[in-house]
């Protein structure tokens, strides 16, 4: 069975490192980007099976990133899980077509459960 590839996009270095280690320990291939521009480039090059995305980032925020992914025929079907501390944004997520999100801080069990729902073995 091929390992699933997950792209993590977040401007917090510690969050990137923790998530990468956790996902690799759970048998995923994890790679990271520290902003939306870098994330979009890596998504195009690596074709991840799933993207974990922070909303509030420099250069390109998560909403702009989602719009650009959805506009790309090769990337639009990649599931995205938003990672955010902004509870008041869930209505905006719905408007943007974002169904899956986790509020920071979240625990590993929640995250892995959501990933497994979106990436069945």
Distance CA 29, CA 69 (A): 20
Q: Is the separation of the CB atoms in 13 and 34 below 8 Å? A: yes
Q: Is the separation of the CB atoms in 81 and 52 below 8 Å? A: yes
Residue 35: the pLDDT is 94
Residue the block writes with tokens 């195009």: 44
* Three-state secondary-structure class, residue 33: strand
For 75, the token pair is 């990337």
pLDDT digits (tens, 9 = 90+) for 101-121: 888 888 889 999 999 999 976
Residue 91: the pLDDT is 66
Distance CA 28, CA 31 (A): 10
Residue with more model confidence, 95 or 83: 83
Neighbours of 109 (CB within 10 A): 8
pLDDT at 97 over 80: no
Q: What is the value of pTM for the model shown? A: 0.92
Q: Which domains does the chain have, with CATH numbers?
A: 5-118 (3.40.50.2300)
């Amino acid at each position: 069975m091929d390992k699933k590839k997950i792209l993590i996009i977040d401007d917090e270095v510690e969050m990137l490192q923790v998530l990468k280690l956790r996902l690799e320990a759970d048998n995923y291939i994890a790679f990271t980007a520290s902003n939306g521009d870098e994330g979009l480039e890596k998504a195009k090059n690596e074709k991840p099976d799933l993207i974990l995305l922070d909303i509030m980032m420099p250069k390109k925020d998560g909403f702009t990133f989602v719009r650009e992914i959805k506009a790309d025929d090769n990337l639009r079907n990649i599931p995205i899980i938003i990672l955010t501390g902004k509870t008041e944004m869930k209505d905006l997520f719905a408007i943007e077509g974002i169904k899956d999100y986790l509020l920071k801080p979240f625990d590993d069990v929640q995250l892995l459960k959501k990933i497994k729902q979106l990436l069945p073995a």
